Amino acid sequence: MSTDPHIWLEQIDDEKALDWVRARNDLTVSKFTQNDRFRGFQERIRSILDSDDRIPMFETCGDSLYNFWQDKDHPKGLWRRTTLEEYSKTRPDWEVVLDLDALAKSEDENWVWADASMCRPECTKALVRLSRGGGDAIVIREFDLRTKDFVSDGFFVPEAKTHVTWAGPDRVLIGSDFGEGTLTDSGYPMTMREWDRGGLLENAREYYRGQSSDVYVYSRADPFTDFRDYYVGRATDFFNDEFFVYRNNELIKLDKPDSAIATPHRGQLFLLLKHDWDRRGERFKAGSLLVGQLDDILAGTGDYQVLFAPTEHSVLISHTGTKNSIILNISENVCTKTFVATKGDNDDWNLEQVQKSNSFLNESGFAYESQESDRTLMLSESFLEPSSLSLSGPNESPRVLKKTRSFFENEALETTQHWAESKDGTKIPYYQISQRDATGIRPTLLYGYGGFSVSLLPAYTPVAGNTWLNRGGTYVIANIRGGGEFGPDWHHQALKENRNRAYEDFIAVAEDLIHRGITEPKHLGIQGGSNGGLLMGNMYVQRPDLFGAVVCQVPLLDMSRYHLLLAGASWMAEYGDPEKPEEWEYLKNFSAYQNVRADRTYPTILITTSTRDDRVHPGHARKMVAKLEEMGHKVHYYENIEGGHAGAADNKQRAFMQALVWEFLWETLERS
């Protein structure tokens, strides 16, 4: 690995680096934002993001439904609450709990909401997490839900990448930056401590310590054992962890495969397998969800039942416990349906689908009252059908609580699913959303991610509907390997030395679109962010002949140094370790920063990032732009000074960033 002349751009807040950023921002703003089409996009996107017709998703605590809401009058947002009866009304009456705009103004801080965790079952206190500018590092402050004010002498944690959870009304479990030897190499907590009300944070009792090479450690307390049990996890890498029950000052390690995800629930233990597992002469298949009695499993006397076993194209996306049942979201050919599992008289589990729906309507169910009842909330949506939120229970049929209005005309549009054949013969599904009667070549945007077992499922697309589909563009989502669309093996097939398979899959989808006559290279744009930004970088350098425009957002691009920057070390289980010669041998082949060439012709590219992204370092994007400029290639760059890994901190910034992308795509692909 040679000396990098652009490494100075990794100094995030260095004034010279920021001047370099501002100069390129100005060029991009001048190029793409000074016209009516951009202004129309920005105005329409902002109106969608600020609309009162969006579904206000909520968390239930006690009798209240809590929601965080941003709109044009409250760009930083309101934390508010109401009742279920009131929520069901067309225009519910919300009680404001915390006005973040007012707080930011009064404290002269650029607060961005992270989230809040409420102390159950009392629901009188909360731990509010606030970020300066939108990064992952947060400040934690205790909040009184009765007085609607911060507790003056309550729990307070300075800015850090902190993990904290309630262990009763007067105790929290915390992992944070306590100084030397308390953070992992990835910058996350390495220790867990008990912190009692009134005590000093630095004196909190440490009850678990991991290793610096771990990704992070975490813990939570079980309210159903009156907080006697703590569950402790030690993530040895991004996909493997050891799991313990800390009971009566004793740490009991759970016997499980390191890759399996353990979830205790009301005395039961659920185990989601990522690899096949042989146990006591029985083989359980990867992707299966097992259930057993926690105490029996810990004692070594318990067996597991199979609650769900995958098939070739049917996989479990997620599961949530209620008081007496388990909600399962099961995907069949990349579209999820919701089932509820309940125990019968013979202790067998019975699965029943919540409601029948059309093939491309994607459903996601979750518990309504955080395990306090058996009611199920379900969010349903498709690429063209607005989101709908319904509530059901054991003795109540599903009823719609809220439904998003349609933000674009969809009568002339259709969704179809197609399959491309990758280089190794694997069939790769992709969704195509387009005008129903469209013929001939048209501008097409192909989106992909392909990593960390993330599944790209059907979701309502109001912004793309207004800025792309209704203007005649075709929108395509590629379900490439590296994702979780077909279970653990779909992800495992593109790990480390097999990363090329994700890129071959994406290329196969692009070539299939061209073969089918949907588009041609000069009218084909591609888009991806984060791990998808790495995908874009590799498409840019590997197949520049195949695309007319590339949108590369908050990307990883320099794989020789990614593990040294911010949270990068936590991803080595996905990509590999560049300091191991045998792993750098394959890593160097998908490190776009090392593979770009001065003597090649590349498509026009827009690279975006955020100064405040403390997950994927903005240096990746900055250095790539500098190198492309040095080589004389056409590149556009925009770095939002705020926003964290999401790229924007409020709806105004989101509207600007999204409008910039759509304007770049139309400007580039229409002129090709």
Q: With 90 as the cut, is the pLDDT of residue 4 above it?
A: yes
Question: Is the CB of residue 468 less than 8 Å from the CB of residue 442?
Answer: no
In the residue annotation, 530 being an active-site residue is answered as: yes
Residues 338, 275: Cα–Cα separation, whole Å? 24
Q: Could you give the C-alpha distances from 453 to 425, 430, 486, 513, in angstroms and in order?
A: 21, 16, 9, 25
Quick one: tokens of 493?
A: 């097939």
Residues 291, 58: Cα–Cα separation, whole Å? 28
Q: Give the pLDDT band of residue 647 (cuts 50, 70, 90).
A: low
- Sign of the CA dihedral running 118, 120, 125, 127: negative
Torsion of Cα atoms, 662 then 666 then 667 then 670, to 10°: 170
Catalytic residue among 387, 453, 530, 570: 530
3-state secondary structure of 598: coil
Q: Give the pLDDT band of residue 646 (cuts 50, 70, 90).
A: low
pTM score above 0.85: yes
Q: With 60 as the cut, is the pLDDT of residue 672 above it?
A: no
How much is the average pLDDT of 424-439? Answer: 96
Q: 272-290 pLDDT, tens per residue?
A: 999 999 998 899 999 999 9
Q: What is the pLDDT of residue 155?
A: 98
What average pLDDT does the structure give for the chain? Answer: 95
Task: For 289, list phi and psi in degrees, rounded to 5.
Answer: -110, 120
Q: Considering only residues 15 and 355, tell me which one the structure prediction assigns the higher pLDDT.
A: 15
Q: What is the pLDDT of residue 358?
A: 75
Q: 31-78 pLDDT, tens per residue?
A: 999 999 999 999 999 999 999 999 999 999 999 999 999 999 999 999
3-state secondary structure of 468: coil
Q: 188-200 pLDDT, tens per residue?
A: 999 999 999 999 9
Q: What is the pLDDT of residue 643?
A: 62
Quick one: tokens of 97?
A: 């709990």
Q: Give the pLDDT band of residue 671 (cuts 50, 70, 90).
A: low
Q: 154-211 pLDDT, tens per residue?
A: 999 999 999 999 999 999 999 999 999 999 999 999 999 999 999 999 999 999 999 9
Q: With 50 as the cut, is the pLDDT of residue 1 above it?
A: no
Q: Which of 293-307, 355-369, 447-461, 633-647 shows the lowest per-residue confidence on average (mean pLDDT)?
A: 633-647
Q: What is the pLDDT of residue 442?
A: 95
Q: What is the pLDDT of residue 596?
A: 98
Q: 298-331 pLDDT, tens per residue?
A: 999 999 999 999 998 899 999 999 999 999 999 9
In the residue annotation, 64 being an active-site residue is answered as: no
How much is the average pLDDT of 437-461? Answer: 95
